[in-house]
Amino acid sequence: MERRFACTACGKCCYGLLPLTLDDALAHAGRFPLGVMLTPVRPGHKSFDLTLRLGSAVRLPNRRQIAVRISPVSYLPPTLACPELAADGLCAIHRDKPVRCRTMPFFAARDERDQSALLIPRSGWACDVSATAPVVYRDGAIVARDDFEIEARAMRDQAPILRAYAGALVATVPGVVEKLTAAAAKPVGGELLVGFSTLLRRLDSVDRAEIAALQVPVLADFAARTGSDPGLAGFTGQYRAWEQEMTRLARRGGTGT
Supply the pLDDT for residue 63.
Answer: 73
The string of pLDDT tens digits covering residues 72-119 is: 999 999 999 999 999 888 999 999 999 999 999 999 999 999 999 999
Asked if 169 and 194 touch (Cβ cutoff 8 Å), the reply is yes
Q: How confident is the model at residue 56 (pLDDT cuts 50, 70, 90)?
A: very high
Q: Comparing C-alpha atoms, which of 108, 81, 58 is closest to residue 11?
A: 81
Give CA–CA dist 226/34, Å, rounded: 15
Mean per-residue pLDDT, 206-232? 97
Taken in order 165, 149, 6, 119, the sign of the CA dihedral is negative
Query: What are the distances in angstroms from CA 30 to CA 114, 129, 149, 218?
Result: 34, 35, 26, 6
Mean pLDDT over the full length of the chain: 94
Q: How confident is the model at residue 254 (pLDDT cuts 50, 70, 90)?
A: low
CA 219 remoteness from chain centre: 17
Give CA–CA dist 15/36, Å, rounded: 18
Supply the pLDDT for residue 253.
Answer: 76
Residue 180 pLDDT exceeds 70: yes
Supply the pLDDT for residue 51.
Answer: 96
Residue 257 pLDDT exceeds 70: no
Supply the pLDDT for residue 256.
Answer: 58
Supply the pLDDT for residue 187.
Answer: 81
Q: Tell me the one-letter amino acid at 212.
A: A
Taken in order 53, 59, 62, 68, the sign of the CA dihedral is negative
Give CA–CA dist 131/143, Å, rounded: 16
| Cis before 105 (ω within 30) | yes
